[in-house]
Amino acid sequence: MDREYHRKLDHHYQCHRRDWQRSRELFRRCQFGHDVAAAIFGIVAADLLQGDHIGAAHGFGAVLAALALGLAAWADLAVAGFVAAYLGLNAVRGICVQYMLDESFKSDSPEIQKIFDGIWKASALASDLCFRLGQKLRLPDPGVLSTHVVLSYVGHLAAAALLPKDVAVATAEAGLLERAQAEQQHLGVAACELARLLMQSWELPSELIERVSAIDSVLVSPSHVADTPLQAEQTGLSYLSARAGEWLAQGRLNLPSDITDLNILGQDGFYLGSYMHLPHLQHGLKALQAPELNVAVERMLQALRGEAAGQPT
């Protein structure tokens, strides 16, 4: 079965070789230092300061793409140091990864492209929510975690591309467990393993691959299987954010404050409770009720809906 899903993924890769090769190069460039990050900030400072993460993602991504293709030189880029101090390197990295995913998965089918767009929006919401919750709960490296959350959607994009169209459409807004069962039935492997395969092909660090792959594994794994309590807390927060991002993007939640207990997540939240009892996460549900967090997410939802309204039907 492993050989079969490798064959299917390779076939899709051959069909989209240019996009995925470009994505691989961009992902490798995304592991840049502060000097590179500083040179990018000035390009989309206005978008970021106005809270337009969607425009910022495409702005940053376009700069990286131009650099990867040799169409721009660092000397041509304006530097806005105050923006660097305001956002930080990890926020830039997460925004760039969102753009790369959006650019790497395209489809001629309107139905599949709609699924891709929904996954991208879910990843943007989940990443933002993870960063804000991580800060409120005083977890280390919330920016790194938000990038992990974005990468956890790689497998879901790949699964949508590989599944029969009718199955992909029918399960697009299903819970993680139902989607994983459909993926196992039709592909022989779930999306989290497809993500692992793609990240390996992009030659990302093995530690990063393991941390990202652990996120969706919360579906079937209690907290004690993590290597350390801190990793369990970080993985639990990432999983909560990923599922909430999906539900917000689909309209099943109006705001994060709708999550008053984990029962709302149904079977997808079965093992999450063991993570939410850990020290940093024990006030996680209370943090979801914070007015400033919900206002920020509401603004992002409005921006996403405005972008969708502006697309041709």
Looking at the fold, whether 63 and 202 belong to one and the same domain comes out as no
- Unique residue bearing structure tokens 């891709």: 116
Q: What is the pLDDT of residues 139-157, one digit of tens each?
A: 998 888 988 998 899 899 8
Q: What is the pLDDT of residues 168-212, one digit of tens each?
A: 999 999 999 999 999 999 988 899 998 888 888 777 788 889 999
- Counting Cα atoms < 13 Å in the Cβ hemisphere of 115 gives 26
Looking at the fold, whether 65 and 189 belong to one and the same domain comes out as no
Looking at the fold, whether 159 and 281 belong to one and the same domain comes out as yes
List Cβ neighbours of 203 (8 Å cut-off, separation of 6 or more). Answer: 24, 28
Q: What is the pLDDT of residues 8-44, one digit of tens each?
A: 545 544 444 444 444 454 444 444 443 444 444 444 4
Looking at the fold, whether 121 and 206 belong to one and the same domain comes out as yes
Q: What is the pLDDT of residues 232-268, one digit of tens each?
A: 999 999 999 999 999 999 999 999 999 999 999 999 9
Residue 66 has pLDDT above 50, yes or no: no
Predicted local confidence at residue 3, as pLDDT: 52
Looking at the fold, whether 71 and 200 belong to one and the same domain comes out as no
* DSSP state string for 148-191: HHHHTTHHHHHHHHHS-HHHHHHHTTS-HHHHHHHHHHHHSS-H
Predicted local confidence at residue 37, as pLDDT: 41
Looking at the fold, whether 153 and 216 belong to one and the same domain comes out as yes
170 belongs to a structural domain = yes
Gyration radius (Cα) of the chain, Å: 19
Residue 78 has pLDDT above 50, yes or no: no
Total count of residues recorded for the chain: 313
**C-alpha–C-alpha distance, residues 184 and 2, integer Å:** 11
Last residue of a domain, which of 55, 80, 104? 104
Looking at the fold, whether 49 and 168 belong to one and the same domain comes out as no
Last residue of a domain, which of 83, 104, 125? 104
Looking at the fold, whether 92 and 119 belong to one and the same domain comes out as no
**C-alpha–C-alpha distance, residues 266 and 19, integer Å:** 36
179 belongs to a structural domain = yes
Last residue of a domain, which of 53, 87, 104? 104
Predicted local confidence at residue 267, as pLDDT: 93
Looking at the fold, whether 300 and 188 belong to one and the same domain comes out as yes
Looking at the fold, whether 72 and 148 belong to one and the same domain comes out as no
Q: Which domain holds residue 142?
A: 109-306
